[in-house]
Copies of this chain bind each other. A is one copy, B any other.
Amino acid sequence: MHSPATSAIWLDCTKQTNKQKLNKKYTNKTLPLSGMKKPYKEIIDLSWGDLQRAGVKPLSFVRQVLAACVYPKLLKSHAEGSEAAEGIFVSSGSYTATAGIPEIVHRVAEFITRQDGGIPSHPENIYISAGSQRNIVTILMNRKASPRTGILTPVPCYNIATLSMMAQGATVVPYYLNQEHSWELQIEELHRALESAQRVCNPVALYVINPGNPTGHVQSRKSMQEVIHFVSERSLFLLADEIDVYQDCFNGEKTEFVLMEMGPPLSDTVELASFHSASKGFMGECGLRDGYVELVNLDHTVMKYIYVLFSKDSSAPVLGQFALDLMANPPQPGDPSYPLYNVVRTDIDITTLVLADNAKRAVEVVNNMLGFCCQPVEGGAFAFPQLHLPPKAIEKEMGMKPDTYYCTRLYEESGVLVRPGSEYGQKEGTYHIRFCIATSADIMEELLKRLSIFHTQFMEDFS
């Protein structure tokens, strides 16, 4: 009864004394302990890509509007947010249209259009959903075909994506990101991966994540252009997971923008599914479970099938749709709720700066530790430093992978929850850890302090 993000550690480490205790505490960013002598008072859990769990406060404006949507009467005596709530809807108790509430889908399309510098996004290509990815994977599956449907997938890659593909029966075809070049996606490696796939499955799609999870790499425009040429030449469907925590913070282009910029025939022909989410946007509302997918250049018949596919889920959670609407359509100067929104807007700007600082600071501190090496974190929510473990730590019989062992001991001895690289895939013989940098400066500092003390001791133990 524990979270996916901690499952591997639990599975690997069944004798943890406070496992059950921790399982019960799932919502706090730091978890108080009692009755056990430990060198720390609270657990720091930066194992998830979950902003609010990592200590980022929900935006009061967003919550006020959502509360007003849930129970409009309550807000009659409070002016706060009620006008914005009326601007969206107050009927949150019903199923909505399959692709999402039409007005919201429209506003999301307008939002994308603005983001992409005026290149039009079409509402009919957008589906709001609690689980877009799985549906898309289903589209790709051609069960009658033999050999099986293959999807080129990066290594490392966050495990929910690969799990989802495999659960649908797809064959994951790994392509390795180049760690030495900041985890860059290199086109020669795509060629190699595709070549290797031909023998075992029918590769139909290429999956990219930008910014990288867990790598933190932001793909360059040149690299994206190469990828677009590659999928076009090889007739692959491009699946682009484009979820950035703070869009204003890191520099990155969206695939659709780059594709459109390249003009015909590419912009008219390359099939693209681009995934976004309210969880990882500036609101960090992971609990609402809504995101959207934009589908570009898909055949009319396929689009009809996609409609049917999404229909079977009835519709996405309504409050998450409202949150997406607030993200896509925030109050403008002159709107009654603008001053209230503007306050949280300032909070967002501050947090954005904190995150950029955290990313820099984490890389700097980790690179100063002996046996650690971290590529720059340019985007996303994670740092993914490589661990150069001493041979004794690798050879030791501990019934689990060396980096899982490292994370388990880090948790036991320092109360810090991070995740082992082995969960994301890594080159044979390399080891990593992943931790979330989307937290407060204080918590980031405390994590780095504890990690540093533990790491020095660990390296000594196995020297």
Q: Which residues does A use to contact B, with CB under 8 Å?
A: 1-5, 7, 23-24, 26-28, 48, 50-53, 58, 60, 63-64, 66-68, 70-71, 73-75, 78, 80, 89, 91-99, 101-103, 105, 123-124, 130-131, 134, 138, 141, 143, 160, 163-164, 167-169, 279, 284-289, 307-309, 311-320
Contacts and interface: CB of A to CB of B under 8 A. Distances in A.
Contacts of A71: 60, 63-64, 66-67
Contacts of A53: 94-95
Given A67-B67, A288-B318, A289-B315, 7 more contacts: A2-B97, A53-B94, A63-B70, A67-B71, A93-B286, A134-B312, A289-B318
A67 B77 CA distance: 14
Contacts of A98: 1-4, 7
Copies of the polypeptide in the assembly:
2
Contacts of A312: 4, 134, 160, 163-164, 167
Contacts of A143: 143, 169
Contacts of A124: 1
Contacts of A75: 74
A164 B131 CA distance: 14
B315 A3 contact: yes
B64 A101 contact: no
B309 A167 contact: yes
B289 A102 contact: no
Q: List the 10 shortest-distance A-B pairs measured between CB atoms, nearest first.
A: A287-B318, A4-B311, A52-B93, A27-B91, A67-B71, A63-B71, A163-B312, A317-B317, A53-B94, A67-B67
B70 A74 contact: no
A3 B102 CA distance: 10
29 contacts: A1-B105, A1-B123, A4-B311, A7-B311, A23-B97, A23-B102, A26-B97, A27-B89, A27-B94, A27-B96, A50-B95, A52-B93, A63-B70, A66-B70, A67-B67, A67-B70, A74-B75, A92-B287, A93-B287, A94-B287, A95-B279, A95-B286, A138-B167, A160-B314, A163-B311, A287-B317, A287-B319, A289-B315, A317-B320
A164 B53 CA distance: 33
